[in-house]
Structure 1
């Protein structure tokens, strides 16, 4: 089949168009409007079973007889464990991430004497009065010099992974120093991760979403399972990004959910992976930064209250299993449209939130 490239880099097939995510959603709403019906908003899903049934029926009717490849603009990727389907898109970034600034990161970390074991706030004040202003000064202290030297070596070696663990042992995981440590990484080395699953544990991952900042844009790559048999291939295909040398991982609640879930699924297939990249969980920083002014630190709430974003159509994450299972039962790709778009928007908002957090140091 002949193909050509459109200006957004989306592949179009002659004689039929493969819809990117937002086009698929708009197409579905337009069909409802032409039929004289009000296109239901995904935001209304939680308001009642009738609306859920209406949404299901409309999606199935709108995409009857079509395939995943018909609807989504993607490509098939082959790896030793099988094949999977990859969707790629780009969006402008409206909140620029601060550039790499290792000197600022080093200065902030070394100014905190309480990072050295045995030093609390009172001891820090006493040591500062004695002339020990930074961790580097403590290298000549008879009691603290060994740990101070170890911390100094980690900072000098730009060992972000070690520093994240060190700071996490001495302070809360939401401490602004952890955001400062992220400044050892250029924006292009940050990998943003969000997954969609069929449940809370011991269930397959059905969508792995990754995003990176490239050339002033947010480049999103999504590994969508056309069948559950593709999970192993999707995990294998995503690993190079998750384990890229010099990369750091950014998630929203990833310490509690995304990373443990991925490790569990990798173990299920016997796939060996380190997943040892430095990890910055934006949820923890967001709670520290906006817990008072914002009623709840859910990503959707932060979108509205902090980013000023109102999703026109959104599928709540808790509905992903139901919609994916509907696709599995019917083979109709319609229910996947809001699943893919929900994940893509989550990644875009995560990038923007982390840009704001890093910009003001999370304070």
Structure 2
């Protein structure tokens, strides 16, 4: 019925236009001039709606160039399984009815219930777990019955053949896309795969604006800043190469002068004393479970710890290390906000 009505309206419009042309031909030159001065009618709502539907329809099928070849996606996927444990941040940005995830940790230890992730996880109608601790559960994946599987050519190399037997599979080249160091490229790729390029572009531009604004606010911050990844039995110095959101390519913070600052390294209390940053961010991996043990618990009881400049000046801050010192869009967005809040900006 809607199709008939739309074409009927076009037929009526066409008839009206023909009559106007006929009257114009019979009228005087003055009348013709007045006729030309009348603004063109606005598009009929039904016609505009039909145009939008046509645009959406031509988005699929689409061909995606992937590590496993040219992959044709016939229809916009509704059940998407992401079996690369490092892609969780990226897939949750998009508007999907159902998502299957392989997690880097167990579901109980994942970030899905944190204040950062929860709004994104909650908007997904169905969220299924198809793997934990970086291992894909093929039985759970089969039961989930995805329309589309998104994988990585390195992380999922051993099971790619099985994945392709379950559903259409897009394998992303992890090196070419730089999934560990350039999440905007990965998010852009996801937008292409899912037919949601605008969602990807909007999040990226919003994040970049947030970072640029933060960098301007921190321009007059004096001193050096260090980030420690604090686990239960070890402490790691966050390297500038991996903490782009905070150093040169992000907020512009100044790192301590040390050869280990580029790549980062496991750190002792003596090593921290040698760095002696003016500002110190402790990225706790037990941030959501503060009663659990941390490697810095013992450090903080020593006189050596109390001699640190950051400690003496009250410039030591606790943040969620699993988010802020990660490499995904949600974690990095949280980290930028946490740093700005801690520094009073």
Name the TM-score class by shorter chain. under 0.3
Considering Cα pairs closer than 8 Å and 6+ residues apart, tell me whether 1 or 2 has the greater RCO: 1
More helix by share: 1
TM-score where L is the length of structure 2: 0.23
TM-score where L is the length of structure 1: 0.23
If you compute each CA radius of gyration, which structure gives the higher value, 1 or 2? 2
